[in-house]
Every structure is written in structure tokens, then in C-alpha cells.
Chain A
Amino acid sequence: MIKRSFLYQLIFKRTGTMVLTAVLGGIILETAIDNISEAIFFKYNKGKLWDDIKHNYVKDV
């Protein structure tokens, strides 16, 4: 039975922990997906983006 499960006792039983988990999960998932997709995009386009050519033009103080 799912009722006695560890997750149920820890999270789903109370609304407070449930909402907290959803919010934290959302933040973590979004950060992870952002970082992964940016890594894919930057790797795929290496050498073409502004970050890759910027060093030619920024005057170091």
C-alpha cells in the first residue's frame, strides 16, 4: 500500500511539505534544465557566439 510508504509519510501527507517540495522541485528542475540546455547550445555553437570572440575586443584594464 502506498499509504505507508516512506515518501507519503515524509512529503505527501501534509499540504505544507507537499507545496514546499513542489516549489523546490520546480526551482531545481528549472535550474537543471536551463544549465543542461545552455551547455548543449554553447557546445554546439562553440566559436560563433559573442562569449567566444569577446576577448578580442575587451580592453583589459
Chain B
Amino acid sequence: MFLVNFKQFVEQKRTIIFSNFSVLFLCTADFFLIMAVVRKLGNIKLLKCRPSFISLQVCHFSNGAGTRWNIKKSMYTTIGLAVGGASALLYALEQSVKAYDWPLHPPAYNWSHSGVLDAYDHASIRRGFYVYKNVCSACHSLDFIPFRRLIDVAFTEDEMREIAAEFQVCIQDGPNEDGEMFMRPGKVSDYIPPPYPNEEAAAAANNGAVPPDLSLIVLGREGNEDYIFSMLNGYTDADDIPAGVEISEGAHYNPYFTGSVIAMAPPLYNNVIEYDDGTPATRSQLTKDVVTFLSWCSQPEMEKRKLWLIKFLILIDTSGHP
């Protein structure tokens, strides 16, 4: 159990580290490009080294410490090669471990927010919230998202007030000035209320399986959005289940889920809800929208990050100095 969790953790961190690396690489490459351009423009008087400075440098390197420098250099090269080789080996070993991982791997979909500069499709976030509210919220909590966070992202403040009040008609608050707890309707400052008071209640209502919190689920599963989309759309009809697979009462066959037998009933069907913007509510549309919404829940700062990338590149470009 611990190992599985640890592996998932590493997997998740690896995607995050790699995506950050690619951005870092881009920035570094950009920086070197600017440096090269500036070097080429070296005729500009201001950027030229004065001769005295160059000869000073030459003196510094030929003052008899030559051999030591060479030994040091070969040492660094060896260490570099060893570390590089070891990490390549580790990476290769880690990759081959996947051979006995037998769930179906999801295809890579082209999400409206997957490009380096792409923002979320906010109309889709809005529809996805309706899907969560009307379908998933019966079983899944969304503990880290307060209602107010959706204001000016997918809803106006007035709309959100209404939604919060009808999401939970009664919520315990207090104490008031008499020291008593009282009931009130939900407010925009509340976090989205969970469907079950605790895990035991959740398990008891779902054949012993606990529906996980969805706030960070997109980052918490290998394959991220692609996995959630494929899993939600990947249920197999009772007739098509491979021979020899035992499906107990209340379980379902889903080749994308680790172990292939999942306790969640297929949640989405064509027209299970109606959209207020007139988009046809087919199953794949519902799924795409709820996954976009859950992706936003996992990383509401994504757009700011992408905006900062542009700022960073402009800043590096304007201050490029060799």
C-alpha cells in the first residue's frame, strides 16, 4: 500500500518537475540565444573588453596552476559522467517497471488549456461546475474549493450567492450572543460542503469504497486530465467484460482503473443535466467539461503562471547581458 502510494507520489512529482524543467529549459535557451546575439554585436564599443582586462585573465590561468586545473577538470568530467549515467540507468529501470502495470493507458487528448500559453476555457469551467454540482457532489467532496473562488472565474457574484444558498440549505454556525448554535443557508465564503460527514459514512453508502476528494484529483492521478476523461468514459458493458473477471455486486468493469474493477457506477449519461448555455449535453461533452472544471480546481493559479512566463521571457530579453 505504502509502495503504491509512494510510486504515485513520485509519478506525480515527476510530471510536475518535468514540465517545470521544460519551461526552465526554454528560458535558459532563450537566455543563451540573447547572449549569442549580443556577442555577435560585439563591435559595439561598450561591450568590448579592454585589452588590459583580457591579458589579466590570461595571466591568471597561466600562473603555474595548470596541472592542478587539469586534474580538477578531469575529476569534474568523471563525476559528471558518473552522475549522468547513473540517472539515465535509474530512469531506464523506472520506465521498465511499468511493464507489469496493466491498466489501459489513456490517449493524450488536446485539451483547450494544454498549450504553454493556453488559458482555461471558462465557459467549460462553468458547465463543469454544473456537472459536479448536479452529479458528482452526491458522492464526492470538493474540500479545498470555497464558493467565492468561482466568482469572476465562471460565475458572477450574484449567481454564486444563489448557488451557495441552494447548495446547502442548512448549515450549522454559531455560537450567537446567547451561546447557541444556529442554522443558516450557505454563503459564498463557505467551502463547498461534503456529501458525507466522515469517511465511514461515505464507505457505508458506497459498498465499502470511499469516493476520493476531487479537489486535487487531476494532479493526483497518473495521466491527469486524460486519465480522468478516459476513466469516466471507459466503462465496459456487462456483455463485453473479459471472461474470467469476477464482478461483485455494486462493482463495475473499467479497464482504465488500476485493477480494472471500480466501485463507482458510471456517473454520466447523455442529457443527465441540461446546460444553461444551450450546449448539447452528450456524455463526452459532460465529461470534458467536468474534467476541465476539476483541472481548474487542482491548479487555479495556472493562468497566472502562464502570464508570468510571458513576463519572465520579456524581462530576460530586455535585460539580456553577456
Which of B112, B152, B156, B310 contacts A40, CB < 8 Å?
B310
A48 contacts B119, C-beta separation under 8 Å: yes
Identity of the chain A residue whose Cβ is nearest the Cβ of B155 in the assembled complex: A57
Q: How large is the interface on A (under 10, 10 to 19, 20 to 34, 35 or more residues)?
A: 20 to 34
B249 within 8 A of A: no
B280-322: CB near A (< 8 Å → 1, else 0) gives 0000000000000000000000010011001100110010000
Counting CB contacts under 8 A, is B274 at the interface? no
Q: State whether the Cβ of A50 lies closer than 8 Å to any Cβ in chain B.
A: yes
CB distance from A56 to the nearest CB of B (A): 7
Provide the A18-52 mask, 1 if CB < 8 A to any CB of B, else 0: 00000000000100011011101100110011101
Give Cα A37 to B152, complex, Å.
20
- With A33-B314, A57-B155 in contact, is A48–B120 under 8 Å at CB? yes
Q: Say if the beta carbon of A58 comes within 8 Å of chain B.
A: yes
Residues of chain B with a CB closer than 8 A to A58's CB: 156
Q: Is the CB of A48 within 8 A of B112?
A: yes
CA distance A34 to B158 in the complex (A): 30
Query: Once bound together, how far apart are the Cα atoms of A44 and B122, in whole Å?
Result: 14
Give the residues in chain B near A41, CB-CB below 8 Å: 117, 119, 303, 306-307, 310
Interface size class of B (residues with CB under 8 A): 20 to 34
Q: How far is the CA of A48 from the CA of B152 in the complex (A)?
A: 13
Residue numbers in B under 8 Å from A38 (CB-CB) = 307
Which residues of the partner chain A approach B318 to less than 8 Å between Cβ atoms? 29, 33
Residues of A within 8 A of B (CB): 29, 33-34, 36-38, 40-41, 44-45, 48-50, 52-54, 56-59
On B, residues with C-beta under 8 Å from A are 112, 117-123, 126, 152-156, 158-159, 277, 303, 306-307, 310-311, 314-315, 318
For the complex of A and B, 7 pairs with smallest distance between CB atoms? A37-B310, A45-B119, A37-B311, A50-B122, A48-B121, A41-B307, A53-B123
**9 sampled A-B residue pairs with Cβ under 8 A:** A29-B318, A33-B318, A34-B311, A41-B117, A45-B117, A48-B112, A49-B119, A52-B122, A59-B158
